[in-house]
Amino acid sequence: MRHFIHAVLPLSILFSGAALADAFTLSSTDIAQGKIMNAAQEFKGFGCAGGNRSPQLSWKGAPAGTEAYAVFAYDPDAPTGSGWWHWQVVNIPKNVTSLPSGAANPAGSVGIKNDYGVAAFGGACPPKGHGMHRYQFTVYALSKKLDLPKDASGALAGYMVRASALASSTIEALYQRD
């Protein structure tokens, strides 16, 4: 038994390292984990005067069986009792693995109305003096394309995406207005 453990343990370490190398990851040239976003990602309206541009996003390492992707941007710190949806795009084709800065919803995908009332990206616009807000940009690898009603709510889209997610990866960027 001792020889078996000595032989198997190094192999399990080797294979676990290989599995980590193929992890589903999200990256961006515009935002970074724990860093403050630029005014380019600030909303234009509601008293904010930013560029209202979605950040560039790229992902890799999707698990086998991925049939589509979803991208969400969410502020859990918005003083609403339920956070604030800035962007929800579902059914992004499986051959799309990046979105440029200022991206429109990719062909074949479905945009969900954000909390500004539009089915597109809406930038950060925390209330002045409310302190630092966290903006969670998440990509989900989905096991199937989703069949959502035409005017699906952000909550319904979130539920259906999480129910079909094979993997996800998040960048949490920051923003505040003084």
Task: Please choose, from the candidates 133, 158, 126, 141, the residue with its C-alpha nearest in 3D space to the C-alpha of residue 34.
Answer: 133
Burial of 83 (0-12, 13-18, 19+ CB in 10 A): middle
pTM above 0.85, yes or no: yes
Angstrom distance (rounded) from CA 17 to CA 11: 10
DSSP code per residue over 73-127: EEETTSTTTT-EEEEEEEEEETT--EE-TTPPPPTT-EEPP-TTSSSS---B-PP
pLDDT (tens, 9 = 90+) of the chain, 178 residues, equals 444 444 444 444 344 444 444 799 999 999 999 999 999 999 999 999 999 999 999 999 999 999 999 999 999 999 999 999 999 999 999 999 999 999 999 999 999 999 999 999 999 999 999 999 999 999 999 999 999 999 999 999 999 999 999 999 999 999 999 8
Structural domains for the chain? 24-175 (3.90.280.10)
Q: In sequence order, which residues have a C-beta less than 8 Å from that of residue 118 and are 6 or more positions away?
A: none
